[in-house]
């Protein structure tokens, strides 16, 4: 009987430990979602102060991805209603630090149709080219150049795909970014170079106007 009671007690302790771990993960997930969506909301309102109204996030589109250095990545989609009528959909991404409880900034892209490639026989495999990879690389590049920058936003409707040299594809686009806290947003022009066949991004560059 003693052996059986001991086994039952051990099982109960294990279940309690598992339950506590799941609860901790759930709390961390809720904190990440709350903080990131608050950061995205602030970014959208700062970038579109007169146009963005009734902003909402789509829970079914939300994805959480554990990353390195005790961070959780939050990605998803949302939409806001324009002052003049109609709605604008957007995608977003953000990183949440579990230790500090702070976000590392947020990116949002207003969803639109990517302009068609230049007319001709060149037809790249669009399924292999990732604008998101390009814009994440551009965001990292700009943050390295301007450590105090914030509120970076890309406008997907400005994306242009062009044929480059030596079997490469060029993705060009525009956005906006604040160089520092309280500063007026500057226009961002960026360009990424991809391998036309594999879709692997080779390099990214950006400039501020």
pLDDT at 187: 92
Whether residue 69 has pLDDT greater than 80 = no
How much is the average pLDDT of 85-103?
Answer: 84
62-88: b (≥16 Cβ within 10 Å) or e? beeeeeeeebbbbbbbbbbeeeeeeeb
**Hey, where are the domains in the chain?**
2-208
pLDDT at 193: 92
> Do you know the residue count of the chain?
209
Look up residue 203 and give its two tokens.
């390099």
pLDDT at 5: 46
Q: How confident is the model at residue 122 (pLDDT cuts 50, 70, 90)?
A: low
Look up residue 78 and give its two tokens.
């949302």
**Alpha-carbon gap, residue 26 to 23, rounded angstroms:** 5
Whether residue 175 has pLDDT greater than 50 = yes
pTM across the whole model: 0.48
* Burial (Cβ within 10 Å: 0-12, 13-18, ≥19) of residue 172: middle
Residues in a beta bridge with 80: 88
Helix (H, G, I), strand (E, B) or coil at 164: coil
Residue 101 — φ and ψ, nearest 5°? 75, 20
Look up residue 7 and give its two tokens.
């086994």
Residues in a beta bridge with 177: 186
pLDDT at 4: 54
**Residue 197 CB partners (closer than 8 Å, separation 6+):** 125, 128, 167
* Burial (Cβ within 10 Å: 0-12, 13-18, ≥19) of residue 94: buried
pLDDT at 17: 45
Q: How confident is the model at residue 3 (pLDDT cuts 50, 70, 90)?
A: low
| Contact by Cβ (8 Å): 94, 151 | no
The DSSP element (H or E) to which 29 belongs, if any, is: helix 2-47
Look up residue 71 and give its two tokens.
């961070």
**Alpha-carbon gap, residue 170 to 191, rounded angstroms:** 7
**Alpha-carbon gap, residue 168 to 194, rounded angstroms:** 6
Residue 114 — φ and ψ, nearest 5°? -70, 130
pLDDT at 9: 47
pLDDT at 14: 44
pLDDT at 73: 84
Whether residue 82 has pLDDT greater than 90 = no
């Amino acid at each position: 009987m003693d052996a059986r009671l001991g086994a039952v007690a051990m099982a109960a302790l294990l279940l309690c430990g598992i339950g506590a771990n799941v609860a901790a993960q759930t709390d961390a997930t809720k904190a990440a979602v709350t903080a990131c969506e608050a950061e995205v909301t602030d970014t959208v309102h700062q970038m579109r102060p007169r146009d963005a109204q009734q902003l909402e996030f789509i829970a079914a589109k939300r994805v959480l991805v554990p990353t390195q250095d005790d961070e959780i990545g939050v990605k998803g989609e949302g939409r806001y209603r324009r002052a003049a009528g109609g709605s604008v959909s957007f995608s977003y991404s953000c990183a949440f630090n579990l230790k500090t409880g702070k976000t590392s900034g947020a990116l949002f892209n207003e969803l639109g149709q990517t302009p068609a490639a230049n007319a001709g026989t060149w037809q790249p495999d669009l399924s292999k080219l990732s604008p998101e990879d390009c814009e994440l690389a551009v965001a990292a590049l700009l943050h390295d150049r301007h450590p105090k920058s914030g509120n970076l936003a890309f406008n997907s409707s400005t994306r242009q795909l062009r044929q480059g040299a030596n079997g490469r594809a060029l993705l060009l686009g525009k956005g906006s970014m604040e160089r520092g806290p309280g500063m007026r947003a500057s226009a961002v022009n960026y360009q990424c170079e991809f391998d036309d066949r594999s879709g692997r991004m080779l390099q990214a560059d950006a400039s501020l106007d």
